[in-house]
């Protein structure tokens, strides 16, 4: 039985909507429900691709796992330890070393006023006491991994291209030998040719370093390239979860089917055999519908869908979906 590295249990995150004095006095606390009872187990050595569109909560999940934000309810545990259980600063720091994050926007991901050398030595300075020589050596090694030399480290971080910045962000994340990486849309802001370079790097590192990774993206094609399992998130809940190949062959949840059908490949002409969902209906994260979260966009909701919330149930080995229909 695989051991899970990261356990996410009934995670909820609600952001209060500020209504001013009146609203608060009136007692109605409206909240934006970014996450609504999310459960996920991430096993050691695997890469889970988390897929969803805007407003689904995937970025919020990433931030909570990394400890940048605290959940409203529920918890995340890492290696068996609950994150909200960590009391001392040293414990937090030790935990931080083990998980790292790569962000979406290459422009802001490196401090523009620091040189590359400063950027890469920062993690070492926080956690280890390396001699200058050891540090320089490590930095040189890291830079080699992305096709740069130690000499480049004297340049300001702003002088590098977007693709290079992302790759540097990646090696910065890896410099502490973390066990777990959260990659939040790391290639979405990059050109196609550059995407390929960064993805190749990630794939290579995945294999070499046996990383456990949560890869967050809205682009299914890319997710497929890197992930062992796919999790689809909609309005703060996981609606489908399963092994990568199985997911692409036999998607179950209507949202998953909708996502897969909406991929535009490079062949001309639209496939007339498209799975239909009501794509453009505005959904509110404040007023969630009773019952299945997806009912507004689904073409076939039954009374049951409108009354009860479907839980994730196993459809085939390792493949789960939260839908009543068959």
Partner 1 sequence: MESILRVEELKTYFLTLGGVIKAVDDVSFEVKKDEFFGLVGESGCGKSTTALSIMRLLDDTSKLEGRILLGEQDIVRLSKRQMRHLWGKKLYMVFQDPMTSLNPVMRIKDQIGEVFRKRGEKAVKTSEIMERERELLDQVDIPDSDRVLNQYPHQLSGGMKQRVMIAMGIAISPDLLVLDEPTTALDSTVQFKIVELLLNLKTKYRMSQIIITHDFGVAAKLCDRIAVMYAGKIVEQGKYVNLLKEPAHPYTQGLFRCIVKKDQKTDYLETMKGYLPSLNNLPKGCYFEKRCVISKPLCKEERPGLIDIGDEHFVACHHFPF
Partner 2 sequence: MIVLVFVLLAILGPSVSPHNPNAMNLTKRLAPPVWAKDGTWKHPFGTDMLGRDVLSRVICGTRNSMMVGLSSSFIALLIGVILGMISGYLGGFFDVILMRWVDIMLAIPAVMLAVVLVAIIGPYPISIIIAMGMTMWSEYAKVIRSRILVLREEPFVLAARTMGASGRKIILKHIFPNIIYIIIVIFTLQIGLIILWSAGLSFIGLGGATLSWGWDVAAGRVYLARAWWLSTIPGLAIFFCVLGCNLFGDWLRDALDPGVKQIV
Residues making contact with partner 2 (CB under 8 A): 66-68, 89, 92-93, 96-97, 99-101, 103-105, 108-114, 122-123, 126-127, 158, 169, 172-173, 176
Residue (180 or 234) nearer to partner 2, CB: 180
Two tokens, residue 295: 């009912």
- In whole angstroms, the minimum distance from the beta carbon of 112 to partner 2 comes to 6
Q: Alpha-carbon distance 248 to 244, whole Å?
A: 6
Residue (83 or 277) nearer to partner 1, CB: 277
Residue (150 or 225) nearer to partner 1, CB: 225
Among partner 2, partner 1, none, partner that 262 touches (CB below 5 to 8 angstroms by kind) = partner 1
Which residues does 311 contact at the CB level (< 8 Å), separation at least 6?
Answer: 322
- Is 112 strand, coil or helix? coil
- In whole angstroms, the minimum distance from the beta carbon of 101 to partner 2 comes to 5
| Phi, psi of 263, rounded to the nearest 5 degrees | -70, 125
Among partner 2, partner 1, none, partner that 264 touches (CB below 5 to 8 angstroms by kind) = partner 1
Give the largest Cα separation in the chain, rounded: 68
Cβ atoms of residues 291 and 306 within 8 Å: yes
For residue 239, the tally of other CB atoms under 10 A from its CB is 25
Residue (112 or 147) nearer to partner 2, CB: 112
Residue (234 or 320) nearer to partner 1, CB: 234
Among partner 2, partner 1, none, partner that 54 touches (CB below 5 to 8 angstroms by kind) = partner 1
Among partner 1, partner 2, none, partner that 250 touches (CB below 5 to 8 angstroms by kind) = none
**Distance, CA of 90 to chain centre:** 26
Two tokens, residue 22: 């009146």
Residue (72 or 105) nearer to partner 2, CB: 105
Among partner 1, partner 2, none, partner that 44 touches (CB below 5 to 8 angstroms by kind) = none
Residue (73 or 245) nearer to partner 1, CB: 245
| Phi, psi of 111, rounded to the nearest 5 degrees | -60, 115
Q: Alpha-carbon distance 317 to 38, whole Å?
A: 21
- In whole angstroms, the minimum distance from the beta carbon of 229 to partner 1 comes to 17
- In whole angstroms, the minimum distance from the beta carbon of 91 to partner 2 comes to 11
Q: Alpha-carbon distance 23 to 41, whole Å?
A: 39
User: What is the contact surface with partner 1 in residues (CB under 8 A)?
Assistant: 53-54, 161, 163, 191-193, 195-197, 199-200, 203, 218-222, 224-225, 258-259, 261-270, 274, 277, 279-282
Which residues does 243 contact at the CB level (< 8 Å), separation at least 6?
Answer: 228, 229, 230, 318, 319
The residue assigned the tokens 């969630």 is 288
């Amino acid at each position: 039985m695989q051991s899970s590295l990261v356990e996410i249990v009934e995670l909820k995150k609600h952001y209060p909507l500020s209504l001013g004095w009146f609203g608060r006095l009136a007692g109605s606390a409206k909240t934006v429900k970014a996450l609504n009872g999310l459960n996920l187990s991430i096993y050691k050595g695997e890469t889970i691709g988390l897929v969803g569109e805007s407003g689904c909560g995937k970025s919020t999940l990433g931030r909570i796992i990394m400890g940048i934000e605290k959940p409203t309810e529920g918890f995340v545990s890492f290696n068996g330890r609950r994150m909200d259980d960590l009391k001392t600063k040293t414990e937090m720091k030790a935990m931080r070393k083990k998980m790292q994050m790569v962000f979406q926007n290459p422009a802001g991901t490196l401090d523009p006023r620091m040189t590359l050398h400063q950027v890469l030595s920062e993690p070492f300075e926080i956690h280890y006491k390396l001699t200058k020589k050891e540090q320089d050596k490590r930095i040189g090694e890291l830079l080699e991994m992305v096709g740069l030399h130690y000499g480049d480290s004297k340049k300001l971080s702003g002088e590098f291209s977007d693709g290079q910045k992302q790759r540097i962000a990646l090696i910065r994340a890896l410099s502490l030998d973390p066990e777990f990486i959260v990659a939040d849309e790391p290639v979405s802001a990059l050109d196609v040719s550059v995407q390929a370079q960064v993805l190749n790097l990630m794939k290579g590192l995945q294999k070499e370093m046996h990383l456990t990774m949560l890869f967050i993206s809205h682009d299914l094609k890319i997710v497929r390239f890197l992930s062992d399992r796919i999790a689809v998130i909609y309005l703060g809940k996981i609606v489908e979860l399963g092994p990568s190949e199985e997911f692409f062959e036999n998607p179950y949840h209507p949202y998953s089917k909708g996502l897969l059908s909406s991929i535009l490949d490079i062949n001309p002409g639209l496939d007339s055999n498209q799975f239909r969902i009501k794509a453009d209906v505005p959904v509110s994260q404040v007023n969630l519908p009773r019952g299945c979260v997806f009912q507004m966009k689904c073409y076939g909701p039954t009374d049951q869908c409108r009354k009860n919330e479907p839980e994730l149930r196993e459809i085939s080995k390792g493949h789960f979906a939260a839908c009543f229909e068959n």
